[in-house]
A = this chain, B = another copy of it.
Amino acid sequence: MVSIKDIASAAKVSISTVSYALNGSDRITKETADRIQSIADELGYVPNRAARMLKKRETMLVGVFLTDFSGHFYGDLLFGLKEELNRRDYDLIVCSGRRSHRMIPERAFDGAIILDATFADEELLGYADRGHKLVVLDRELEHANVNQVLLDNKAGATLAVEHLLGQGLSRICAVGGPESAYDARQRMRAVRQSVERMPEASLEELPGAFDKASGYAAGPRIAEAAREGPVGVFCLNDEMAIGLCDYVRTQTSLQIGRDVHVIGYDNIELAQYMQPRLATIDYSKRKWGALAAEQLLKMIEGRPVEQERIYVRLVEGESVGQASL
């Protein structure tokens, strides 16, 4: 592999001159710089990333950690992240799995973005203590080296429940997320508050784990409830809503949007292709990513960071209809 040394001897200058020339320092005259540059090109020189990282103590890399690679909104989120990072000359690296956690303390990146339930809070705080910059997207953490971009879960869940209530549905079921999920806890809390505000409304909470299977599993109980009249179901994310619709369609003779009214959360791509179209809560995943990137870069560069929040909107769908009285 051709190194800076090879260029130095080919150009009959010292390696420091080569380094300065290639990095565009004004210590070197334009002529020598050009000469060195063309020799470098000719030899096909590419700087060694590891050496540069070691010496400069910076990587120009940001790591994003995901629980898995199959999330339905990762595409947009990562797009937003990457755009923003690239504008500032950083590269994005996506990681998943416990094994890769170690890359943070190994200083493989200048900062990391976390949307990964396999990190415990204490683990993240430990990294922050050691000086690593983090932006967390799936929890709230109080630390000088940690910031977050919050989804407005409260507003979203309130919107969802009020949409159901607004259709004349007073019997509400909510299918929850894993206890460990911050988003799930926040959404469920808002659900309770919204229902409590309506004296005539009732709420039943069903357990769930943010996956299709838990939506499906909630099916029997919901079908039972629906026998006594229309029921409005808020699944705390779209995947569960889809699982529930699956159950209702294949295992019961109930009709979605008439007997069982379903609304989800996240507006994943699938939602718009469901028949009937799934009502859901939407927010800009790109913006979420872009803000996360912006915050992280500010931290890395030592600029002040302001708290950001992503707003939500209701997407209507035929999975929620007017309650027939």
Name A's B-contacting residues (CB within 8 A): 1, 44, 46-51, 53-54, 59, 68-71, 74-76, 78-79, 82, 86, 91-97, 99-100, 102-103, 105-108, 130-131, 242, 269-270, 273-275
Contact = CB atoms under 8 A, between A and B. Distances in A.
B106 A48 contact: yes
B46 A106 contact: yes
Contacts of A93: 93-95
Given A82-B96, A91-B100, A270-B273, A105 B50 contact: no
Nearest to A2: B130
Contacts of A79: 68-70
Nearest to A81: B69
Contacts of A54: 48, 50-51, 54
Contacts of A274: 273
Given A69-B79, A79-B68, A107-B48, A94 B91 contact: no
Contacts of A105: 46
Closest 7 CB pairs of A and B: A70-B75, A50-B53, A94-B94, A275-B275, A49-B106, A46-B105, A69-B78
A168 to B, nearest CB: 27
A49 B91 contact: no
A107 B273 contact: no
16 contacts: A1-B131, A46-B105, A49-B53, A49-B107, A51-B54, A53-B53, A54-B54, A68-B75, A69-B75, A69-B94, A71-B75, A82-B97, A92-B95, A92-B96, A94-B94, A270-B273
Nearest to A76: B70
A130 B1 CA distance: 8
Contacts of A95: 91-94
B91 A47 contact: no
A71 B50 CA distance: 31
Given A48-B106, A69-B74, 6 more contacts: A1-B131, A46-B102, A49-B53, A49-B108, A70-B79, A270-B270
Nearest to A130: B44
A303 B139 CA distance: 45
Contacts of A242: 273
B75 A99 contact: no
Contacts of A96: 78, 82, 92
Q: Which of A44, A48, A49 counts the most chain B CB atoms within 10 A?
A: A49
Contacts of A273: 242, 270, 273-274
A82 to B, nearest CB: 6
A34 B131 CA distance: 28
A12 B148 CA distance: 43
Nearest to A271: B273
Nearest to A83: B97
A215 to B, nearest CB: 13
A237 to B, nearest CB: 15
A44 B192 CA distance: 44
Nearest to A46: B105
Contacts of A82: 69, 96-97
